[in-house]
């Protein structure tokens, strides 16, 4: 059976792909937003109101990051990039570094990264895996109390949106993995890709908010359904 030639695969990932690595999701039963009010810890207003609470929230998540490893789903996507003839790009909403740890190279962190910090005064952005406190001094402008996690908060513009739009417009295949489809602009990517002719597939534990927008939906644990789907894509590519 001949399969349409796929030359560009764009993959959106969310917290669900990291769940089996032990990283908490946001909107599941025991998720992060069941324990914290996002308005307190993931908005500029929350940071202005109580910067230490916000810094401690991300310090706790950054410390936990040291104990987690990529799972079979992250590894399968790295294998897809390495072995499939198509150009494969991952756009992740996740701030963890598990795609990098799995070996993925073409990766866009649209919501920033937990292992980076930035200065609200001079704009410095740098890798950072330790705590950030109100006393932390920016190595560039030497100001104290201006450093924050380089994470995109609600109400802030996600990173690399123009590049992401270009990828969505040239995709032959769009995969959405481990996201609830609650948060825009990521939740709108399936419509954008579909509009430009991509086949759209959802791989998630349960139907997302936007599940009806997808050409195909595969439900199950990412650690199982993603490696199986990648194996299918690689087999189809070798059939050509
Ligand atoms: N395998 C596959 N999917 C899973 C698994 C798993 N093991 N565990 C959970 N899921 C699914 C859930 O069913 C849910 O649909 O992953 C999705 C996680 O949804 P959210 O917790 O809402 O996370 P996400 O979609 O990434 O949130 C988007 O919201 O709070 C902001 O900035 C934050 O980037 C985040 C954005």
Which pLDDT score, from 0 to 100, does residue 19 have? 98
Burial label for 77, CB within 10 Å (0-12, 13-18, 19+), is buried
**Each residue's pLDDT tens digit, 124-166:** 999 999 999 999 999 999 999 999 999 999 999 999 999 999 9
Which residue among 93, 178, 208, 218 has the greatest number of ligand 1 atoms within 8 angstroms of its CB, and so is best to mutate?
178
Residue 17 alpha carbon to ligand 1 centre in Å: 8
Report the catalytic residues. 111
Structure tokens of 234?
A: 């690689």
Cβ–ligand 1 distance for 8 under 6 Å, the answer no
Nearest-5° Cα angle at 15, 9 to 21: 100
**Each residue's pLDDT tens digit, 57-103:** 999 999 999 999 999 999 999 999 999 999 999 999 999 999 999 99
Which pLDDT score, from 0 to 100, does residue 240 have? 73
Cβ–ligand 1 distance for 183 under 6 Å, the answer yes
Nearest ligand 1 atom to alpha carbon 208: 15
Nearest-5° Cα angle at 41, 37 to 42: 100
Nearest ligand 1 atom to alpha carbon 179: 25
**Each residue's pLDDT tens digit, 183-207:** 999 999 999 999 999 999 999 999 9
Residue position matching structure tokens 């030639």: 5
């Amino acid at each position: 059976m001949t399969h349409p030639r796929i030359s560009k695969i764009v993959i959106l990932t969310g917290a669900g792909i990291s769940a089996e690595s032990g990283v908490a999701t946001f909107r599941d039963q025991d998720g992060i937003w069941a324990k914290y009010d996002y308005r307190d810890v993931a908005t500029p207003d929350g940071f202005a109101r109580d910067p230490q609470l916000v810094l401690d929230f991300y310090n706790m998540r950054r410390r936990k990051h040291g104990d987690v490893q990529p799972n079979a789903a992250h590894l399968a996507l790295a294998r897809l990039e390495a072995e499939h003839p198509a150009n494969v790009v991952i756009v992740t909403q996740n701030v963890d570094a598990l795609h990098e740890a799995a070996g993925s190279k073409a990766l866009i962190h649209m919501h920033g990264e937990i292992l980076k910090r930035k200065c609200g005064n001079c704009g410095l952005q740098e890798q950072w895996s330790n705590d950030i406190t109100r006393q932390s001094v920016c190595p560039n402008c030497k100001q104290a109390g201006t450093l924050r996690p380089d994470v995109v908060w609600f109400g802030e513009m996600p990173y690399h949106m123009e590049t992401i739009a270009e990828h969505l417009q040239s995709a032959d295949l769009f995969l959405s993995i481990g996201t609830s489809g609650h948060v825009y602009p990521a939740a709108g990517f399936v419509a954008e890709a579909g509009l430009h002719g991509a086949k759209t597939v959802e791989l998630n534990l349960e139907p997302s908010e936007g599940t009806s927008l997808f050409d195909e939906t595969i439900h199950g644990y990412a650690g199982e359904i993603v490696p199986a789907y990648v194996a299918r894509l690689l087999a189809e590519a070798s059939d050509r």
